[in-house]
Structure 1
Amino acid sequence: MSSLTLPLPEPIAAYFAADTQGPDSVAQCFTPKAVVKDDGHTHTGREAIRAWKAAADAKYTCTTDPFSTELVDGVHAVHAHVAGNFRGSPIDLKFFFRLERGLIANLEISV
C-alpha cells in the first residue's frame, strides 16, 4: 500500500493500516458515535462499523492504494485505487474523512 509513502494524518493512516487487519481494528479507528456512509448505506457507531467491515470482508477481497489527498473545509479527501474481486474492479474511490480528537468521526466513500 503506497499510503506508507503518501503523508496522511495519523487517524487516516491508521484506518488504511487497520483495513488489512480486520473489522475490530477498523472499528477502533472511529469515535464511539462515528458515521460511515458506503454503497448507499449509513452505519452509525463502532459496532455497526465493525459489522459493515465484517460483511465487506466476507464478500470481497481487495487492496486499497491511496494516491492523493487534499483538505477542504476540514474534510480530508483521500483518493485511492481499489482492486479486488468485485464487479467494476479496479476502480478509483474517494474517501472523505472528518476527524475528531484523534479519531475518525465521519467517513463517506464514493466513486
Structure 2
Amino acid sequence: MTTLTLPEPIAAYFAAEHSPDALAHCFTAHAVMKDFGHTYTGINAIKVFMAEASLKYSATTVPLTIEREDGSQLVRARVSGHFPGSPTVLSYRFRLERGLIASLEVTA
C-alpha cells in the first residue's frame, strides 16, 4: 500500500479533525471554508462549524488521493460517520497561502 504524502497544513487539518482548536492553527486568519453550500469566514466561524459537525456526525476521514488542480490541492477522502450515505467519498479543495489553508471547499 502506498502512503499518501500531503502538504503539512493539509495533513494537520485531517489529523486534527476532532479538535477545533488544533484545526484553527491550520488556517489563515481570514480563511474561507465552504461546506455543502454554507460559507464560514474567519477562524472563529470555522472553529464553531467544525466543533458542531464533529459532535453531530462523529466523522472520520481518510485521505485517498491528492492532485494539483488550478492552483489548488484536491484531496479525495473517504468519510465515515453518523450521517445518511456513510461511508462516502468527498472532495476537499485546498488553496494554501504561506504554509496555511487560505480556503477550503468540501463537495460530494
Q: The TM-score by the shorter chain falls in which range?
A: over 0.9
User: In structure 1, what is the Cα distance between the partners aligned to 2:11 and 2:39?
Assistant: 22
- Partners of 2:16 and 2:40 lie apart in 1 by 18
Q: Distance in 2 between matches of 1:57 and 1:83?
A: 12
Task: Give the C-alpha shift of residue 39 in structure 1.
Answer: 2.0
TM-score, normalised to structure 2, is 0.95
Task: Give, in whole Å, the separation in 1 of the partners of 2:60 and 2:13.
Answer: 13
Counterpart of 1:26 in structure 2 is 23
- Judge conservation of contact 2:17–2:60 (CA < 8 Å) in 1: no
Tell me which amino acid in the other structure corresponds to 1:59. K
- SS, match of residue 94 in structure 2: strand
Please list every run of at least 4 consecutive aligned residues from structure 1 whose deviation after the TM superposition is greater than 4 angstroms.
none
TM-score by length of 1: 0.92
The equivalent of 1:13 in structure 2 is 11
Q: Superposition pairs for residues 1-111 of structure 1, below 5 Å?
A: 5-20=3-18, 22-111=19-108
CA distance in 2, matches of 1:28, 1:48: 13
Inter-partner Cα distance in structure 1 for 2:34 and 2:96: 15
Q: Unmatched 5+ residue regions in structure 2?
A: none
Structure 1 residue 51 displacement after superposition: 0.4
Match of 1:7, SS state, is coil
Counting matched residue pairs gives 108
Superposition CA RMSD, Å = 1.5
Q: Aligned-pair distance for 1:58?
A: 1.8
Structure 1, unmatched stretches of 5+, are none
